[in-house]
Amino acid sequence: MTALLALFLSFGKNFFIYEIFYNYFPYFNKFRVPVMFLILTQFSVSILAGLGLDIISNLITRDKNDTLFKKVTGVFISIITLFFILKLFGVPKPGYFPKYPQSNLPSEVIINFDNLRLDMINSDMITAMLFLLFTGAVFYIARRGWVTVKGLAGIVITLTIADLALVDRKIIEPAKDSYRQSTMINKSLKSIYLSEDEVIRFFKKDT
């Protein structure tokens, strides 16, 4: 519930729950950055992921009833099948994004921007599908007894780190055709700020 509530609040005025909190909860109208509520969502998802991994490991190692395991496998296969169906029908398709006729940008720029968003969605869907396939294969191998529980946890943690590294790289080192700048400070600019000047030398002599 905390994760969902924080997610809905992060939408700001684009979702009705934010207006309810803004109008009726004391001091809530002083908070001006609703997207920061996503910190609670990330924290909750991390806790749920740990609990889920513990449940799955117990299911694999201790629960000898294949009925529940088959149900979990069925849900997993359904998600993978949904990915394949979406890719088969080309979802999302060109023209999927809403048009903004009031924009002052040239039409060529808007088309290129929409194509870029479409490519990013498709590439992220493929990446997520590959991660799910590999994770499912690891769980199946652990169920067969070929990998220990500690090995399973290590592989899942490694996959998580790899996934985070892919996301962080898009932020720290964005591609040239992404129209985004790196969030890191340029080294030359940083060296200018850290270099000694007359004020710093004066304080050094004073000490």
Interval 129-180: pLDDT, tens: 888 888 888 887 887 778 887 888 888 888 888 888 888 777 777 766 666 6
| Whole-number pLDDT of residue 14 | 82
Q: Is the pLDDT of residue 207 over 60?
A: no
CB atoms within 10 A of CB 43: 13
* 97-132: pLDDT as tens digits: 666 555 676 777 777 777 777 788 888 888 888 888
**Which of residues 182 and 20 earns the better pLDDT score?**
20
Return the pLDDT at 116.
Answer: 78
Residue 109 inside a domain? The answer is yes
Average pLDDT over residues 80-85: 80
Residue 190 lies in a domain: no
172 and 77 both lie in a single domain: yes
**Count of the separate structural domains present in the chain:** 2
Selection from 134, 142, 136, 146 nearest residue 58 by Cα: 142
Q: What tokens appear for 201 in the block?
A: 């030398």
pLDDT of residue 96: 61
Q: Are residues 44 and 119 in the same domain?
A: no
Domain region containing 124: 64-181
Render pLDDT for 37-57 as a digit per residue (tens, 0 to 9).
888 888 888 888 888 888 877
Residue matched to tokens 């088309």: 111
Domain boundary among 62, 78, 108: 62
Give the predicted TM-score (pTM) of the model. Answer: 0.58
Domain-embedded: residue 192 = no
207 falls within a domain: no
Asked if 41 and 10 touch (Cβ cutoff 8 Å), the reply is yes
146 lies in a domain? yes
Residue 13 lies in a domain: yes
- Residue 95: pLDDT band with limits 50, 70, 90: low
Query: Is residue 76 located within the same domain as residue 56?
Result: no
Same domain membership, residue 129 and residue 31: no
35, 62, 89 - which closes a domain: 62
Of 17, 36, 62, at which residue does a domain stop? 62
**What's the pLDDT at 63?**
62
pLDDT at 123: 82
Handedness of CA 134, 135, 138, 139 (dihedral sign): negative
Q: What is the pLDDT of residue 206?
A: 67
More confident residue, 191 or 54: 54
Based on the fold, state whether residues 115 and 45 are members of the same structural domain. Answer: no
Within this chain, do residues 69 and 56 fall inside the same structural domain, yes or no? no
48 and 145 belong to one structural domain: no
Lowest mean pLDDT among 34-38, 126-130, 197-201: 197-201
